[in-house]
Chains A and B, each alone.
Chain A
Amino acid sequence: MYNSGKIIPGIIIFLAIVLFPFWSNLGKANVKPEPKIDTPVIQQMPVEERKCIEPKEFMKAGHMQMLNDWRDSVIRDGNRVFVSSTGKHYNMSLQNECLRCHSNKKDFCDKCHNYLAVKPYCFDCHIEPKENKS
């Protein structure tokens, strides 16, 4: 093989650079995002009432779809009251209902969104609450 002295180290250096993300993270446990739910409003609630409007698992997987449906319902039909699966009534508003409890956007919304590198544009228009740490 001609020039093997150059080609083989070249290939090794090339692979080292291309695979940098893999070997640099090797062995490091990937820290799971843990959104915080310790806002003042939630902490003032009695423990048994500290529940989101629908089960946590559903909210985790489906909150984006739900917000879309809420938007259509509120803007198109003027229906602003959501009746949850437990029969409770809620005002369908990201800014005035969701964020009333989850007033910690940085430690709640952003935790998972940053982890998954998704950039929803909710807060281009909707005003996020001033972070009030207790």
Chain B
Amino acid sequence: MSMDRRDFLKIAGITGLLGAGVAAVSGKMPGILEAAVTSPNSNALKAKQWAMVIDMRKFKTQDDYKKVIHACHSIHNIPEFGNPKDEIKWIWTDKFEHTFVGQEHEHISEAVKEKPFVLLCNHCEKPACVRVCPTKATFKRNDGIVMMDYHRCIGCRFCMAACPFGARSFNYRDPRPFIKDNNPKYPTRMKGVVEKCTFCVERLDEGLMPACVEACKDTKALVFGDVGDPASEVRKVLKDNFTIRRKPELGTSPSVYYIVGGGENAG
């Protein structure tokens, strides 16, 4: 078959127009999913940047620590492996010299030196873990919470190397058999993903305070709120007290503040 240039251009033009027409029509037909409407819960708590003040003066007995840790670890299905190598921790304790590295000195009060400090993910304003994640499995929400999407986590552990606070734990083993009492409302994790504290997003989205904050609401040892709101309780506590953050020199701008207190109450 032979075709002169004129015929070829005609056919090509018509085909092109037809294709564009079909694309335009089919592109305008949304499926149910595109048309689906989603919205936040009506009583969800909102913030510019969630933050927490940890008042170490109010942690006096072992029980004060235990109930906070238990509140978190029981509802989030945290396994207990019984060895520090595999340990999964969302909220935990460590000594002053490990919490505020470089702040310790030889004449520090015995009470502060030996007191366990409450640690959790700092939900940094400029999180190093988010910058290094190759799959965007970890990211920063609009309300400042550093979140994980476990579905996307490939277990590369870059985030663990990047986090200066040791807030992330890796599931070296299947956690399921080591969870004492399943909370059927919350998922577990699987082998090969990293996990950490989420400031209880699932509770904030329902209008509740984080589990650890609620566990010690009688003493107000943990104060939680929006640091972007000048009228919030955290801002008031930050105004009235001298507070410090962990490793501020690294520039990640942590959102967890500590009132260290004097030596009046050893842990």
Contacts and interface: CB of A to CB of B under 8 A. Distances in A.
Contacts of B33: 62, 65-66, 69
Contacts of A62: 31-33
A65 B33 CA distance: 8
A78 B151 contact: no
Contact of A127 (B36, B42, B141, B187): B187
Contacts of A92: 38
B214 interface: no
Interface string A68-84: 01010101111111111
A110 B36 CA distance: 27
Interface string B116-145: 000000000000000000000001011100
Contacts of B143: 78
Contacts of A131: none
Contacts of A126: 187
B189 A83 contact: no
A114 interface: no
Contacts of A73: 38
A17 B168 CA distance: 54
A81 B139 contact: no
A92 B201 CA distance: 14
B44 interface: yes
Q: Looking at chain B's contact residues, is the secondary structure mostly helix, strand, loop, or mixed?
A: loop
* Chain B interface residue number, banded: 20 to 34
B188 interface: yes
Nearest to A91: B41
Given A62-B33, A75-B149, A85-B32, A125 B190 contact: yes
Given A127-B182, A127-B188, A83 B39 contact: yes
Contacts of B35: 85
B100 interface: no
Interface in B34-66: 35-42, 44
A58 interface: yes
A95 B185 contact: yes
B185 A121 contact: no
Contacts of B13: none
Contacts of A69: 33, 36
A127 B149 CA distance: 17
Contacts of B91: none
Contacts of B40: 77-81
B230 interface: no
Contact of A78 (B42, B139, B201): B201
B205 interface: yes
Contacts of B38: 73, 77, 79, 81-83, 92
A129 B38 CA distance: 26
Nearest to A81: B39
Interface of A: 54, 58, 62, 65-66, 69, 71, 73, 75-85, 92, 95-96, 121, 124-127, 129
27 contacts: A62-B32, A71-B149, A73-B38, A75-B149, A76-B139, A76-B141, A76-B149, A79-B39, A79-B40, A80-B44, A81-B42, A83-B36, A83-B37, A83-B39, A85-B35, A85-B36, A92-B38, A95-B184, A95-B185, A95-B186, A96-B185, A124-B190, A125-B150, A125-B190, A126-B187, A127-B182, A127-B186
